[in-house]
Structure 1
């Protein structure tokens, strides 16, 4: 079943469950198994995953730094065997447990990115508004949150257009080197911030013309419906969290 057809409440519960399992299980193999299950579920639901690499690519250097730091800085382990020293860098011991902890952090970040990406591309803003309204959130807060989320892809497209326009004008955009990147990004950030201000101003005018603020409550165009398929997914999510908690606290598995 396509992910877009799932009830937004089930998707929110699934997202929270994934985050819970990530922090219950600290071993990288457990988190890697969760990542495989998540990717398999997204593939089965025919969710497009083409945009994932563009989100993960800027994090590659961060992953390397995480592995390097945790390998030589982690000293406390639940399992004594993880204190095994693999090698020494400038007098700092690189332990097996530190390597496993670093891998766990990296896999956790990847899972978070994949889960957030899947939720964002499959959840209409109107559904989030309905959920926030059902939680009796203030109307201004609901509009603020959903507008901010919807502006993320809009600003990303604006940035790409600005980059192409600056390149057409001969500007060296995204130059190499730390100083070069800072100076070249000025040509991007100034028009991007200007565009953001203009978009916010146009949004304010549009909301005023449509009578925003005339009533204290929001009205929804449709009601959320809970299907049998939603119940099946919710039951599978509850089973996943229960199994993770049982393995971690009942059997003592899934820890470094």
Structure 2
């Protein structure tokens, strides 16, 4: 569950937090495109490491490190599944190229996890909703998306609390083979699903009591306005994306 720490918004006054959410959405799209563009170790390693200064500048290194610790399990799974599938296709022989490609796939996941964590850690759901609305996306869809983002850390916290409660009752989640461990998570998933349904019903009742959707004309407390630093950041991202396209044509 520690990987979901990357979805908890932090309220800080840093250059990254103060960037316009539309610029950060462009950053998210640019890094995602660059990560998908390359399938070699060195470029993907550069993309991953290039984001570390941004994490430090945003002062979210602690939350990011927790997210990465949880994500490393999935990175190892991606590495293992890629290596096994390629080895099976080649008659159960492993060479350096298979290992290289498998490492590259794991690094791609790390790069994407870093950029998504940085985005959600530094972007409040309210401003994200405003950014989506400015892109002519209907408010109902914006509200549904941002509400889901808000619930992710809450559900992760509840899952951890339920797991701790089940451990106190003698449930051993860390023992047994993969199938046995999956079966042991049923006592956690059942109350978690019930809790999620109850929360959704409470939210629906609260929205109905406040006449959600009754008026087509909405007002917002905040307004988005691009500042000089936003243009500089967008230009830097566009330059990095163009350089990546040129490098992709060479390597």
Short-chain TM bin: 0.7 to 0.9
Question: What secondary structure is seen at the aligned counterpart in 1 of 2:225?
Answer: coil
Question: What secondary structure is seen at the aligned counterpart in 1 of 2:39?
Answer: coil
Encode CA deviations 1:154-181: one digit per residue, 9 max, x unaligned: 1001111111222223333454322321
Structure 2 residue aligned with 1:55: 70
In the TM superposition, what are the counterparts of 1:1-256 in structure 2 within 5 Å? 1-48=14-61, 49-59=64-74, 60-70=76-86, 73=89, 91-249=91-249, 252-253=250-251
Aligned partners of 1:25 and 1:132: how far apart in 2? 29
Q: Is the CA contact (8 Å cut-off) linking 1:163 and 1:188 kept in structure 2?
A: yes
Question: What secondary structure is seen at the aligned counterpart in 2 of 1:5?
Answer: coil
Aligned partners of 1:170 and 1:40: how far apart in 2? 44
Structure 2 residue aligned with 1:81: none
Change (3 A) 1:42 1:73: farther
Q: Which moved more, 1:138-147 or 1:161-170?
A: 161-170
Encode CA deviations 1:63-120: one digit per residue, 9 max, x unaligned: 222234346648xxxxxxxxxxxxxxxx544343333222221111111111111111
| Structure 2 unaligned spans of 5+ | 1-13
Question: What secondary structure is seen at the aligned counterpart in 2 of 1:163?
Answer: helix
Aligned partners of 1:227 and 1:55: how far apart in 2? 36
Question: What secondary structure is seen at the aligned counterpart in 2 of 1:4?
Answer: coil
Larger radius of gyration: 1
Question: What secondary structure is seen at the aligned counterpart in 1 of 2:94?
Answer: strand
Aligned partners of 2:100 and 2:58: how far apart in 1? 31
Q: Is the CA contact (8 Å cut-off) linking 1:174 and 1:184 kept in structure 2?
A: no
Question: What CA RMSD, in Å, does the superposition of the two structures yield over aligned residues?
Answer: 2.0
Aligned partners of 2:20 and 2:97: how far apart in 1? 40
| Structure 1 unaligned spans of 5+ | 75-90
Q: Is the CA contact (8 Å cut-off) linking 2:16 and 2:57 kept in structure 1?
A: no
Task: Give the alignment's TM-score, normalised by structure 1.
Answer: 0.84
Aligned length: 235
Aligned partners of 1:160 and 1:138: how far apart in 2? 34
